[in-house]
Structure 1
Amino acid sequence: MTPNRGSPSREASGFLPALARFWKRSHAPDYLGFLVLLFGYILIILFVEPFHRMFVIDDLRIMYPHAEVERVSVLMNFVYALFIPLGIMIAYNTMTKASRHKHEVTYLCFAVALVTASFLTDVIKNAVGRPRPDLIARCMPQEDTPAGVLVTSDVCTETEHHRLHDGWRSFPSGHSSFAFAGLGFLSLFFAGQLHVFRHEAGGRDLSRALVCLVPLLGAALIAISRCEDYRHDVYDVCVGSLLGYTVAYWSYRRHWPRLTARDCDEPYPYPGSDTKPSWTRLRDEEEGGTSRGNIR
């Protein structure tokens, strides 16, 4: 029997229609967006210099010593906020025999959170151009620089380019935003997997909640270390932390249901697919496990 022309089983053939179907029924737009953000972030690092705010050489807020050795270096921040969370999620998904779709969504959302937080942080850093607490130690002003008046970076004698210009990238803290994007996402992931906010599913178990708090504690310690190294003040660190965690939550919720949802441990199905076996995407007002039919 020949299907009707209007039947959904008949789809246009050819390369372009096939490409359009692939685009609509896969996470290809997310991968493209990730690459665009990553490319933009790399360009910012390589070619963009921050706005240089004027400063006063006897301002005590920017006269802290410059720490040559950081408590948490950039490399170690990658280890703590990227490689360790990624390894933990891979191990968990492997041990629980997660579907290929769940593997893909987990790592894709995680990567998008990290690169988005990094991109936004650096855009804001360079636009604001706030001096770091150790700016004077970096700048090494000329001896005849007058005190008590605003001066520009022209008075600096430091010749090492990155050391000097990085002194105007204080707000917000990049370490903090990256740490809370990566470790914050790991916390959200485990909150969903362990049903921490589903009381009828064992969410009152404190041990489960503590598992989710450990990554946040780690991120907080990384953020605090930036104040101890005099790279940032509390304001920089708090805003960076909030930015990173907000981006982590945004990226997580794009592909995962609310943490109070019945199936919060499973991601939404592929785009263009309404349901999958034993799972139905519910409206937000129904994700708490109460359908309209049960309301009297």
Structure 2
Amino acid sequence: MKNNGPSMTPSRTGTNINLLQEIIIRLALFAIYMYFEFQDPYIRMIQPDEMWLYKNPRTASYVPLTTLYPVTFGLLAIIFFIYYCRTGDFEELKSAWLGLTLACVLNGVVTHSVKVVVGRPRPDYFWRCFPDGIANDELQCTGDSSVIMDGRKSFPSGHASFAFAALGFLSCYLAAKLHVFTERGRGQSWRLLVAGAPLLAATMIAISRTCDYHHHWQDVTVGSVIGIIEAYLCYRQYYPPLGDRFGFLPYSSSCLTINCCTKPCAKPCTQQIESTTGETEADDKLLLDNEEKNN
């Protein structure tokens, strides 16, 4: 049956977000994360013949947290703000920050709770345990206790999981805004490259943790998987699938509260959709007619 007068607004119902509840949840998750951050890890027995695994030299982090956090959050803030200035959609800005913050605090809880339970020594643990390089027969550490305890929190990598949680979320965000997986953006490789750039950055950050001997490769691999899974799950809490034609609109967008089959799209929403996709209602009608013929 032919659809007369199609609209550019998707026929979904907008989602109401309880902002106070969302803030409380994030604060609670952050408190749990801080609890595990300051807990002593499980003291795993180290056999003398495996100590060679932990004799790598102690070096400074290639990507310290004092650089990682400001640069990552600063980059995300700039991108979110630029898109907000382009569309003026506050619901979009709110959804972006809620999704990102949920991914980050949830990642902190999962990663640091596992660190405490596993208690795997870092590659440079020997020098944390014996700063003078002389080990005793009982393998009783003589170094600073806080440095030693941190040396038993190798698995999984917090740098890797955070990088993939935050930058993985950004990659999903850019992929939706650039329509990488929809008919609008397919075949335009620059869109894929832009959306994939944050994942490359996250990969470099993760790999750096093996280069500075702060993590084993297994720590980095598992941390990266944890981060990317949380990034996608948290993104999908606020946005449709990446292949959805209107996936660049958050579930809470006011544009989603209008039935596209019976009512015309509100002017601000039409402007937002056209400015983001580059499509007009004429383009939309043509696409729908083609889909109807194919069916």
Query: Which residue does 2:97 correspond to in 1?
Result: 107
Equivalent residue for 2:281?
none
Find the counterpart in structure 1 of residue 216 from structure 2. Answer: 233
CA contact (8 A) 1:105 1:255 kept: yes
Q: How many residues align?
A: 251
Q: TM-score, normalised by structure 1?
A: 0.78
Q: Identify the residue that residue 121 of structure 1 maps to in structure 2.
A: 111
Q: Would the aligned equivalents of 2:239 and 2:249 in 1 still touch at CA under 8 Å?
A: yes
Change (3 A) 1:128 1:194: same
Say if 1:89 and 1:186, in contact at 8 Å, map to a contact too. no
One-letter amino acid of the counterpart of residue 156, structure 1: C
Residue in structure 2 matching 1:184, options 159, 168, 186:
168
Hey, what does 2:78 align to over in structure 1?
87
Aligned counterpart in structure 1 of residue 146 of structure 2, from 159, 162, 170? 162
Distance (Å, rounded) in 2 between the aligned partners of 1:106 and 1:117: 17
* Alpha-carbon shift at residue 219 of structure 1 (Å): 0.5
Q: Which amino acid aligns with 1:172?
A: P
Consecutive unaligned residues in structure 2, runs of 5 or more: 1-15, 259-264, 270-286
* Matching residue's letter, 1:126: V
Show the counterpart of 1:34.
26
Q: By how many angstroms is 1:62 displaced?
A: 1.2
- Tell me, yes or no, if structure 1 residue 66 matches structure 2 residue 58: yes
SS in 2 for 1:201: coil
**Partner of residue 4, structure 2:** none
> Any idea what the Cα deviations from partners look like across 1:44-78, whole Å, max 9, x if unmatched?
223x11111011344221111111x2100011111
What is the rounded CA distance, in whole Å, between the counterparts of 1:97 and 1:248 in structure 2? 24
Long gaps (5+) in structure 1: 1-23, 280-288
Q: In 2, Cα distance between the equivalents of 1:189 and 1:101?
A: 14
Alignment of 1:1-296 (within 5 A): 26-46=18-38, 48-59=39-50, 60-67=52-59, 69-94=60-85, 96-140=86-130, 143-145=135-137, 155-158=140-143, 160-198=144-182, 200-269=183-252, 275-276=257-258, 294=292, 296=295
Q: Aligned equivalents of 1:144 and 1:25: distance in 2?
A: 59
Task: Give the aligned partner of residue 15 of structure 1.
Answer: none
* Cα separation, 2, equivalents of 1:62 and 1:77: 25
Contact preservation (8 Å) 1:81, 1:178: no
1:109-158: CA deviation from partner (whole Å, max 9, x where unpaired): 11111111111100000011111111111101764316xxxx5xxx0000
Deviations 1:153-182 (A, max 9, x none): xx0000x23211011101100000000111
Q: What's the offset of the Cα at 1:232?
A: 0.7
CA-based RMSD: 2.6
Tell me if the contact between 1:194 and 1:208 (Cα under 8 Å) persists in the aligned partners.
yes
* 1:221-280 CA distance string (max 9 Å, x none): 100110001111111101101100110100000110001101011000279x9724568x
Please give the TM-score of this superposition, normalised by the length of structure 2.
0.78
Moved more, 239-248 or 50-59: 50-59
The 3 A distance-change label for structure 1 pair 136 and 25 is: closer
